[in-house]
């Protein structure tokens, strides 16, 4: 019964640094807590009512002391803030070559799609030593993707995409929790992250693939919903070609520019009038009622497969 | 001392009139304080009852005592009862109401009728909320996050929101009354820098109440509109922005933390000086720190949202400001400790609570630094670490200060002394029980146990059992004072006007004071806490 | 002077202190009101910057003329309140009563016009959650939600104001006010001016968006 952990497992590339910062904070807390406790205990004993200790020269104002215990905590705080902010920034920006996984949360489960076509529920299989970028959205209320062993947490919101990333460093199974209260079975909205060695993971990918790759499903949806009639490479009168779109900079009708990332593509499909590309008429209807979150991810994956801005230089900029 | 007998003969505010009408229609700030004392104690035990059920459920990893639906209602209603109906009004509405006019040398608050109205609004809001709790309850969490609260929860969201909306006006009226009274009704000679720190803390609290509560009111009103008419203000499915709700909610609810804890800081300043027989160390820094906390407290709400999807740069700004707000709190803790230096410390019950406050608030404040640190916050937010942290501030801090204040001014309010032995024993029990309940939760949080879970992985059980065991001790620590304080009412009124030999205008009046407080308006000629002078005079 | 001292509540030392206290009380209350409306204006600012097109489209459905008339009505009512305070300072309670009545009348005119606007909106199907049939850009509904919530809360404040002014008339007719004691009139006037000022912001924010494309 006494065999229980006091420290969480550290199984991601950032976990060690978060822990180091945590222990620094423990040190700072122990230092200041120690000073206060020592002061309270010492003064209480030495200056108890009937003690004979001298009370001569008691002061109630001491500017240097006040400044000392204002400025020292301030300086220490500034240092902790800087480290925390830098690490936070790193935890927000995924490495370029990260492997992407798509997550849809709903009451009360995690639905996961791998670009290769594998789908999982409440389980996420990832290879060790590879950065994984999660693109997440919710179908209903706010959830939060939380893997304690990775020190990773990100709210998952309806109506928009949020992203986070991690790189697992140790094979094993880890808790996946929903950390934002989401209704009745919130406490049951948990699963596991399975970290596997690279070759095992490849075997798993090949063995558990039930659907075609997301690009293929996306390609099919692209034709099924009729996107192809306006957004093909050949007919560009009504809508821009999507080749080389992903990651490029798009100029909009109102003169502003925007980077074509997952959020932009999602917004363009659901609310086409809101981000009209310069030089085109607002002809496109909304697909908000017709596509599921999973299908949206498949189309985005397909559009990504059409290439990035490297070849954008070849097409004429509108 | 002949005065004691004379006091007993003189009419005081309790014996001034009899009958239920004389209480329900009273405009005497002292009677209204007692009305509040009774009402908030009721809500404290309602909220405590919910907490007991939660802790019992969490003894095992499975859901064996209550269902998920019930558990979600329990933590929601625990939060609502404790925060809105106990902690926010606790010190201002009870001790502040009773003492502020007396500390200023005034006969009453500036607007006695508004004061009574504020109690009635509290009761109407409270009754409405209780009714909503009894007839189905509410399961959104006290934070009411959209779109769950507006589109998905099937519980009594609107009635509870209406109850809190009404309650908000009760807070506002109290705050308004305190501000005007402090500005306009100070006794001759009582300049701003002669005010007791309790008054400063009430003033700072009132400013926060006045400026933050209306934002909560409008946020909840918008939430109600969205839920009733199913239109999209915050629900993304209907075109709204759920993050905007969080911004507006925390714009009130972060300052609300300071509404709860600043008054306790004021109480602790009174207790430490009185029982160390010392002037407060760094008076001006202490007063400035309270005001600085009140102002900075308005600028840090975004630190509740570091993983919500708000921009990285917003996160950095809110993090930096959160470290800033820690500085004045640190200054206060250092100054209380320094006040003990070369004092003559007498270990009476109130000061034990004050020491308890300093210790627990220090832990709560220091763990606040963990949560202000961005990268660490990502791991800790929405876990039991947060639960432990804010209970250290609100229970370890605010409630300890409240109980310390009740024990300090009880003789003034009732004219009676309680049994000192029992009181010291229960202060000790509270301190031990509190730490046993909440310290394990820091570890649970770091291990990754999310909050608002009624079932949990087995490896978390030992710490949860410890916490529940602590809660049973803590519960005892709250029941014992109820008993001996009520018991003391059976004794004769022999406490005398100033049983602690304290400074402060409130101790110049008989205990209990007469309705008009002072026969003659006192004239103030010195700063607060002139204990050294008192000792020199052999008092 | 016996008349004045009976106006002095027991907790105050003199009338001046009492007057200063109630003035400060009203200013503090108005600070609360600023934050109350401020919450809504914040929501407005966020959504207007996010969905500017929708807000322009929504504002096309506003009757600028009626809004302008209402603005004029309210400005006029602020003038009558100020004149009323001036009258009571001179001890001219009959004139005070007249001005208060005019204030109430103007406030009522405002509410009637507002009522007409609301009923037009209902007829056109522009009330979200009750009857909304507008086919416009996404989020145009948000514009109307904010319009109804904000002007609704403003109208509620107008009604409270009319109630207060009615109480002031009754107190005036009972001879409660004199050049020495007219504080309730003064603080009621402060409240009335505040409610007017809120409208001064609401009018351009909702009616005049399209003027600045």
Which domains does chain C show, CATH number per domain?
33-211 (1.20.120.80)
CA distance B505 to B491: 26
| A164 beta partners | A134
DSSP secondary structure string for all residues of B3-55: HHHHHHHS--TTTS--SHHHHHT---HHHHHHHHHHHHHHHHHHHHHHHHHHH
Domain-located, residue A304: yes
**pLDDT of A313 over the 60 cut:** no
More reliable by pLDDT, A186 or B10: A186
Which residues in chain B land under pLDDT 50?
A: 1-5, 7-8
What integer is the mean pLDDT of A185-205?
A: 94
Residue of chain B with shortest Cα separation from A20: B376
Domain-located, residue A259: yes
Q: Are residues A109 and A197 in the same domain?
A: yes
Task: Kindly indicate the confidence band of residue C136, based on its pLDDT and cuts at 50, 70 and 90.
Answer: low
Q: Are residues A21 and A150 in the same domain?
A: yes
- CATH classification at residue A20: 2.60.40.420
Q: Are residues A97 and A148 in the same domain?
A: yes
Q: Does B179 touch chain C (CB under 8 A)?
A: yes
Which domain-ending residue is among A196, A211, A226?
A211
Q: Are residues A237 and A171 in the same domain?
A: no
Pull the structure tokens for residue B460: 């978390």
- Counting the structural domains of chain A, the total is 2
Tell me if B141 sits within 8 A of B78, measured CB to CB: no
Identify the pLDDT of residue A132: 96
Half-sphere exposure of C106 (CA within 13 A, CB side): 22
Distance of CA B81 to the CA centre of its chain: 12
Start-to-end CA distance of chain C, whole Å, equals 62
Domain-located, residue B536: no
Identify the pLDDT of residue B103: 96
Q: Are residues A96 and A230 in the same domain?
A: no
Task: Tell me whether residues C24 and B180 touch, CB distance under 8 A.
Answer: yes
- CATH classification at residue B282: 1.20.210.10
Long-range contacts of C18-23 (CB under 8 A, 24+ apart): C18/C183, C19/C183, C19/C186, C20/B184, C21/B110, C21/B111, C21/B180, C21/B181, C21/B183, C21/B184, C21/B185, C22/B110, C22/B111, C22/C183, C22/C184, C22/C187, C23/C183, C23/C186, C23/C187, C23/C190
pLDDT tens digit string along A115-168? 988 889 999 999 999 999 999 999 999 999 999 999 999 999 998 899 999 999
Q: Strand, coil or helix: what is B342?
A: coil
Which domain-ending residue is among A162, A189, A211?
A211
Which of A43, A51, A61, A289 is the best residue to mutate to test the B interface, defined by the most B CB atoms within 10 Å of its own CB?
Answer: A43
Domain-located, residue B11: no
- Contacts A273 to C, Cβ<8 Å: 53, 137-138
- Contacts A282 to C, Cβ<8 Å: none
Pull the structure tokens for residue A105: 């949360």
Task: Tell me whether residues A153 and B379 touch, CB distance under 8 A.
Answer: yes
* Percent of chain A with pLDDT strictly greater than 90: 53
CA distance B318 to B336: 28
Q: Are residues A243 and A301 in the same domain?
A: yes
Q: Are residues A100 and A135 in the same domain?
A: yes
Identify the pLDDT of residue B5: 47
C 111-150 → B contacts, CB under 8 A: 128-130, 138-139, 141-142, 145, 149
CA distance A77 to A153: 24
What integer is the mean pLDDT of A72-82?
A: 94
Residue of chain B with shortest Cα separation from C138: B239
Which domain-ending residue is among A175, A193, A211?
A211
Domain-located, residue A60: no
Domain-located, residue A52: no
Lowest mean pLDDT across A68-72, A310-314, C14-18: A310-314
Domain-located, residue A49: no
Domain-located, residue B407: yes
Task: Tell me whether residues B282 and A66 touch, CB distance under 8 A.
Answer: yes
Q: Are residues A151 and A16 in the same domain?
A: yes
Which of C8, C9, C10, C11 is the best residue to mutate to test the B interface, defined by the most B CB atoms within 10 Å of its own CB?
Answer: C11
Q: Are residues A75 and A86 in the same domain?
A: yes
**pLDDT of C213 over the 70 cut:** no
Domain-located, residue B66: yes
CA distance B103 to B198: 9
Q: Does B79 touch chain A (CB under 8 A)?
A: no
Identify the pLDDT of residue A278: 80
Q: Are residues A71 and A185 in the same domain?
A: yes
Q: φ, ψ for residue A232 (rounded to 5)?
A: -95, 170
Residue of chain A with shortest Cα separation from C140: A274
Which is nearest to B125 in space by CA: B96, B164, B95?
Answer: B164
Pull the structure tokens for residue C82: 């100020």
Which is nearest to B315 in space by CA: B399, B235, B373, B385?
Answer: B373
- CATH classification at residue A254: 1.10.760.10
Which of A263, A266, A273 is the best residue to mutate to test the C interface, defined by the most C CB atoms within 10 Å of its own CB?
Answer: A273
Identify the pLDDT of residue C3: 47
What is the extent of the structural domain holding B32? 21-531
Chain A: list its partners (3+ Cβ pairs within 8 Å): B, C
Q: Does B238 touch chain A (CB under 8 A)?
A: no
Instruction: Work out the minimum CA distance from B196 to partner chain A, whole angstroms.
Output: 15
Q: Are residues A143 and A21 in the same domain?
A: yes
Task: Tell me whether residues B215 and C17 touch, CB distance under 8 A.
Answer: no
What is the extent of the structural domain holding A267? 214-313
Tell me if A186 sits within 8 A of B453, measured CB to CB: yes
Tell me if B263 sits within 8 A of B93, measured CB to CB: no
pLDDT tens digit string along A243-281? 888 888 888 877 788 888 888 888 888 877 777 788 787
Q: Strand, coil or helix: what is A196?
A: strand
Q: Are residues A140 and A80 in the same domain?
A: yes
In terms of residues, how long is chain A?
318
What integer is the mean pLDDT of C88-97?
A: 92
Identify the pLDDT of residue B9: 54
Task: Specify the DSSP element, H or E, that contains A111.
Answer: strand A109-113
State the ipTM, two decimals: 0.91
User: Given C28, C50, C129, which is nearest B180 (Cβ)?
Assistant: C28
B 119-178 → C contacts, CB under 8 A: 172, 175-177
Pull the structure tokens for residue B1: 């001392």
Tell me if B206 sits within 8 A of B175, measured CB to CB: yes
Domain-located, residue B131: yes
Identify the pLDDT of residue A159: 87
Instruction: Work out the minimum CA distance from C51 to partner chain A, whole angstroms.
Output: 8
Domain-located, residue B404: yes
- Counting the structural domains of chain B, the total is 1
* DSSP state, residue A167: E
């Amino acid at each position: 019964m006494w065999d229980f952990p006091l420290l969480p497992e550290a199984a991601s590339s950032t976990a060690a640094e978060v822990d180091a910062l945590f222990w620094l904070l423990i040190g700072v807390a122990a230092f200041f807590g120690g000073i206060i406790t020592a002061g309270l205990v010492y003064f209480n004993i030495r200056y108890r009512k009937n003690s004979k200790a001298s009370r001569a020269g008691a002061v109630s104002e001491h500017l240097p002391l006040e400044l000392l215990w204002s400025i020292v905590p301030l300086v220490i705080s500034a240092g902790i803030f800087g480290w925390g902010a830098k690490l936070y920034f790193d935890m927000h920006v995924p490495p370029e070559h990260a492997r992407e996984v798509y997550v849809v949360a709903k009451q009360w489960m995690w639905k996961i799609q791998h670009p290769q076509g594998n789908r999982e529920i409440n389980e996420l299989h990832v290879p060790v030593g590879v950065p994984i970028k999660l693109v997440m959205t919710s179908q209903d209320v706010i959830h939060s993707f939380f893997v304690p062993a990775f020190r990773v947490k990100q709210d998952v919101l309806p109506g928009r995409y949020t992203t986070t990333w991690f790189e697992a460093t140790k094979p094993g199974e880890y808790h996946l929790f929903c950390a934002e209260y989401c209704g009745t079975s919130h406490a049951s909205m948990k699963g596991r992250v399975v970290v596997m060695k690279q070759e095992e993971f490849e075997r798993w990918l090949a063995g558990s693939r039930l659907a075609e790759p997301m690009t293929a499903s996306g390609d099919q949806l692209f034709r099924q919903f009729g996107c192809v009639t306006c957004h093909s490479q050949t007919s560009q009168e009504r809508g821009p070609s999507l080749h080389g779109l992903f990651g490029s900079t798009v100029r909009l009708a109102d003169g502003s520019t925007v980077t074509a990332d997952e959020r932009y593509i999602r917004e363009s499909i659901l609310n086409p009038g809101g981000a009209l590309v310069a030089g085109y008429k607002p002809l496109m209807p909304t697909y908000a009622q017709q596509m599921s979150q999973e299908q949206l991810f498949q189309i985005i994956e397909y559009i990504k497969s059409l290439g990035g801005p490297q070849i954008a230089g070849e097409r004429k900029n509108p | 001392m002949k005065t004691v007998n004379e006091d007993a003969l003189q009419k005081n505010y309790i014996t001034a009139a009899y009958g239920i009408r004389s209480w329900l229609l009273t405009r005497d700030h002292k009677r209204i304080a007692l009305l509040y004392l009774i009402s908030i104690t009721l809500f404290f035990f309602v909220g405590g009852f919910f907490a007991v059920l939660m802790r019992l459920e969490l003894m095992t990893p499975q859901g064996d005592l209550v269902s998920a639906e019930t558990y979600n209602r329990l933590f929601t209603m625990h939060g609502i009862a404790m925060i809105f109906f106990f902690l926010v009004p606790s010190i201002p509405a009870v001790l502040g109401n009773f003492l502020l006019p007396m500390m200023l040398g005034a006969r009453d608050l500036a607007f006695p009728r508004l004061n009574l109205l504020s109690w009635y609004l509290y009761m109407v809001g409270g009754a409405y909320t209780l009714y909503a709790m009894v007839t189905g309850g509410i399961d959104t969490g006290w934070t009411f996050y959209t779109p769950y609260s507006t589109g998905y929860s099937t519980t009594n969201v609107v009635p509870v929101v209406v109850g809190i909306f009404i309650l908000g006006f009760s807070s506002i009226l109290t705050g308004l009354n305190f501000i005007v009274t402090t500005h306009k009704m100070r006794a001759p000679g009582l300049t701003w820098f002669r005010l007791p720190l309790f008054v400063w803390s009430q003033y700072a609290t009132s400013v926060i109440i006045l400026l933050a509560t209306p934002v909560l009111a409008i946020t909840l009103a918008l939430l109600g509109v969205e839920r009733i008419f199913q239109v999209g203000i915050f629900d993304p499915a209907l075109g709204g922005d759920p993050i905007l709700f969080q911004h507006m909610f925390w714009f009130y609810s972060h300052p609300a933390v300071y509404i709860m804890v600043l008054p306790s800081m004021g109480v602790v300043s009174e207790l430490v000086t009185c029982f160390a027989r010392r002037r407060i160390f760094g008076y001006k820094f202490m007063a400035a720190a309270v005001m600085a906390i009140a102002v900075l407290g308005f600028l840090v709400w975004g630190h509740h949202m570091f993983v919500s999807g708000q921009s990285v740069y917003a996160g950095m700004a809110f993090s930096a400001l959160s470290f800033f707000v820690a500085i004045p709190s640190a200054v206060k803790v250092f100054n209380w400790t320094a006040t003990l230096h070369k004092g003559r410390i007498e270990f009476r019950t109130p000061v034990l609570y004050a020491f308890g406050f300093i210790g627990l608030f220090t832990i709560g404040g220091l763990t606040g630094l963990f949560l202000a640190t961005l990268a660490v916050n990502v791991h800790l937010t929405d876990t039991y670490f947060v639960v432990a942290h804010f209970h250290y501030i609100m229970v370890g801090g605010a409630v300890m200060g409240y109980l310390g204040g009740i024990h300090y001014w009880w003789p003034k309010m009732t004219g009676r002394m309680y049994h000192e032995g029992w009181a010291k024993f229960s202060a000790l029990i509270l301190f031990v029980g509190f730490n046993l309940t909440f310290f394990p939760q820091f570890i649970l949080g770091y291990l990754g146990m999310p909050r608002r879970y009624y079932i949990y992985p087995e490896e978390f059980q030992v710490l949860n059992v410890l916490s529940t065991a602590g809660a049973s001790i803590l519960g005892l620590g709250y029941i014992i004072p109820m008993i001996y304080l009520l018991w003391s009412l059976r004794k004769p009124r022999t406490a005398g006007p100033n049983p602690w030999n304290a400074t402060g205008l409130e101790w110049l009046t008989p205990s209990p004071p007469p309705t008009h407080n002072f026969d003659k308006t006192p004239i103030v000629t010195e700063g607060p806490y002139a204990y050294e002078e008192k000792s020199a005079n052999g008092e | 002077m016996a008349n004045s001292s009976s106006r002095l509540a027991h907790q105050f030392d003199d009338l001046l202190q009492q007057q200063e206290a109630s003035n400060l009380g009203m200013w503090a209350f108005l600070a609360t009101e600023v934050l109350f409306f401020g919450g809504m204006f914040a929501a407005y600012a966020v959504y207007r910057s996010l969905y500017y097109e929708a807000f322009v489209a929504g504002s096309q459905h506003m009757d600028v003329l009626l809004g302008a008339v209402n603005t004029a009505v309210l400005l006029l009512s602020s003038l009558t309140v100020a004149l009323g305070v001036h009258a009571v300072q001179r001890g001219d309670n009959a004139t005070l009563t007249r001005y208060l009545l005019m204030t109430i009348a103007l406030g009522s005119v405002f509410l009637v016009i507002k009522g007409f606007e609301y009923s037009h909106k209902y007829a056109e199907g522009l009330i979200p959650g009750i009857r909304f049939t507008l086919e416009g850009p996404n989020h145009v509904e948000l514009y109307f939600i904010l319009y109804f919530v904000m002007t609704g809360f403003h109208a509620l404040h107008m009604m409270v104001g009319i109630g207060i002014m009615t109480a002031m008339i009754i107190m005036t007719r009972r001879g409660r006010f004199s050049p020495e004691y007219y504080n309730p009139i003064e603080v009621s006037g402060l409240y009335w001016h505040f409610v007017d000022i809120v409208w001064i912001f609401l009018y351009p924010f909702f009616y005049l968006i399209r003027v600045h494309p």
